[in-house]
Amino acid sequence: MYAHRISEQRYTDIWYEAGEELVVYVDLIFLTNLCIDGALIGLTAWMRKTKLVWWRWLLSSIVGALYVVMMFVPEFDFMFTFLIKFGLSLVMLFIAFGFKGLQVFMRNLGTFYVINFVAAGGILGIHYMLQSSGELFNGIWYTASGGMSFDLKIAFWFTFIVFFAVLFLFKAVQSSKRKSDRMTTYLGQVQVYIDDVTISCTGLVDTGNQLTDPLSRLPVMVMEVSLWQDMLPASWKGRLKEEAPDNLIMELDQEDFRWQGRLRLVPYRGINKGTAFMLAIKPDLVRVTLDQMSFETTKVLIGLDGGVLSSEGKYRAVIHPELVQDAASAQSTALSAGATEKPLNVV
């Protein structure tokens, strides 16, 4: 779908322009456009979450690359019109994806053109960004009727390299958006009640979190200790992340802490870590709101984590799936292997 004129190349075809020879590599143009069309079709399939058959993918790319080669055959000048180009894109998509209904086909077509426009816009944007003001104005000329035109000259290898760089960046952005959208499905509002204190934050339902207290068999919901900083002993500030919680509890003999009877030590094992203890608090009530449904329970422990659960700050608690069993069972468990940045396993 892309045409390139290349000088300084092996003999294949010769154009004459203003008395000068312009040698063009038709085979190189074919191979590069084969890669470009293949990347466009592949990214379209990825965006549409469709699995490609390899021979359909290859055949569709070959058709698109052959069309560019036709520009060197004078007899095929009539093919370089809008209708022919649009028709060719329909043929390429039909070969690659087949026809599974008009709605599906139109969505494939729209996605294909969006990716093409993103790639073309990225190439032009980077091209003009790297130009100096002198180079930019040298490419502008005025017509006799008062109009203004632009003389666009972009190097072949620049186009080829930037094209794939733009597609890579586009895919990375889309992957990040997909991950964020999936995570949003598992986010809920958490409220913890102890005496007259209420702690609220956003929590992530982690279907892979099976952390429970081995003695009481109560599920453990992990929260960042910074949420509880004002309620904990002043001497604990900043120490829970570095020191063992049992050592901190030993210091309570000399301090007045009204929730001392609520403290628990829960054994756990993190990834690439040995067995350790997590400091936990027994609340009066925990309320979790997920998908406009509210879940309340008193049979839960609140584990205090000294670090940051989400580097992006999207959530500050990891909700045990038992607390929202109905909602968790209705959703996919695709995130169970790595939904949180600090997965926990029962010892």
Tell me which residues are annotated as active site.
Answer: 206
Q: Which residues pair with 328 in a beta bridge?
A: none
Cα 212 from Cα 118, distance rounded (Å): 49
Q: Which amino acid is at 110?
A: G
- Identify the residue whose tokens are 């939904």: 339
Give ∠ CA 32-34-37 in degrees, rounded to 5. Answer: 110
In sequence order, what E strands does the chain have? 13-17, 20-24, 140-142, 148-150, 187-194, 197-205, 220-224, 263-270, 275-281, 285-290, 293-297, 301-305, 317-319, 344-346
Instruction: Provide, for the chain, the percentages of residues in helix, strand and coil under a 3-state DSSP scheme, each rounded to the nearest 5.
Output: 45, 20, 30
| In contact, 227 and 191? CB cutoff 8 Å | no
Cα 284 from Cα 301, distance rounded (Å): 10
44 phi/psi in degrees, rounded to 5: -60, -45
Cα 188 from Cα 201, distance rounded (Å): 9
